[in-house]
Structure 1
């Protein structure tokens, strides 16, 4: 185990996870579990336990189920089933040491815990992040006239963000169109014509570039922090189009408006760092990547992100989805990686210890509290 004063401070710090999801409430068989721990799905003859994330689960999560390190998959899943989803959930969230969870509720093909259900076993605080594509698709599913779409979406989005506990919004534009879009706000006529195409198609999926642009500008009008998925995702994403550098012109146009939170970022953590360094409103995390590479490689990912990122711009997220292991593994990877990087700078006399401890608290909790205006912000 890594040691040192920075590691000790981070281990004791209650984290603020500024982007995560709920966990599946029912029992999981092997195929369901293996599908949930990968972005690629479970394939015949290839076990996702034989991947970096699968190995990390067996190494770091097995002891929390009273199993030896590196427990074999069948033993791991049998013990998980024996304990039941509620106890598994409690153990891993308690081990994560996360105090505040900002929960994206917009994607739930399985029955997931609500924000309140997610934190109930550990007594944390949960807030909600509204996924704007889900709101737009609900509006489109209700039909109506194309010329009414923009106003109806605006009203529905306002209603959604006024729900108690909502602190931000999110877009998955990276999945739907990518970021290489015309950065300008679309005209009313353009939105009406795009809505006409969407409603006539009956597709239900918001993937029209004009409507995605309209969604992003609506987010600006809402005034809350906007989370943007960047980089790594499932095979629905076109990775080269999710490079956040494509957002540069849009960020110029939206300067002075809302905080823009670049989520996950791998393999574009350096591009995201550049944007955070040159645009006041841009922040980043490397969340999803951390549990997929595991503690063994989390430092390498975070190290690139921190080459030029201002320390007030780095946040923690787990992007945990479906299985509680990811809440635990994400927190462990983040604490170890950040502690190692900061402690090395202290040891090399590039940073003094009080500054290192302050920067660790910023990244692990205080930056998120400040941006999302949560209690305890500093």
Structure 2
């Protein structure tokens, strides 16, 4: 009996000592201040356009594929000395941010980070994310001019800690140069460069770091991955083409290497035409005749609606744009679907969008003609 008591006491002591040891290690790491001691790297599943290195004391370095790097300094911690000249220092918390990327807005909204946004380069009427619109109506977010012609005087007066822009900034280097001249930090949201839709969602983890919402970001990503994993990805054999049309009559077909083609494949569809620019993302421009020859035998067509003023609801409206459309197989069979106008601003729920595509191409009746992100042209 005494021997058992001694063993029990010894085990208790080991547990207590182990706990103190772990607490000591944790507190030692937390006490790291003003220096960078590498700890680990974030393991990403799909995203390929950013990396994150974790340092003791809560410091992190975010590196984008475009070569820019950002050091996040935890609240209450000192900025390390002798940093690389190209390292942009972001002192947390970020509470005064200018938002020039709608896809970033989608991710930030769904992880609860929208309160940090005070300025935007998007006009009120161009927002389809309800919470952003509501924040502008309430005066919490102010329009600061378009992304390529922002009000520099207002930016200088407001002094945002960070500007988050889309990749469109690449075509306006003079704007980026002006930000540098004014001493304003800018981060380009490269989520749109991700070829896998879940890679785009995984950018939530980057914004989770910037706005102390890492758990929320992980939860969002896990939820969307679960939605995709739950879809029967076995090919339906149905061919699906995705395109949009501009007001001048040009048609833009999504390339086979584009993320939207990947969404169709994850939904059980076969992207059409087979192997169409499979090594390219983005779109290919076509005239009406070339588009007709390309799309004529597709089982389904998804019309991507970028219009802010005109939303198609009828097949006749699509045919009115070009009589050739009337002879397309998908049009004849009533298998043309359109994205909602909010589509191009949504990144956080791409898993649910894939689920909608799956429903659209597998539904045997018209019970699902109106989904969250898609609706059938009638």
Q: TM-score, with normalisation over the residues of structure 1? A: 0.28
Q: Which has the higher strand share?
A: 2
Higher relative contact order (CA 8 A, sep 6+): 1
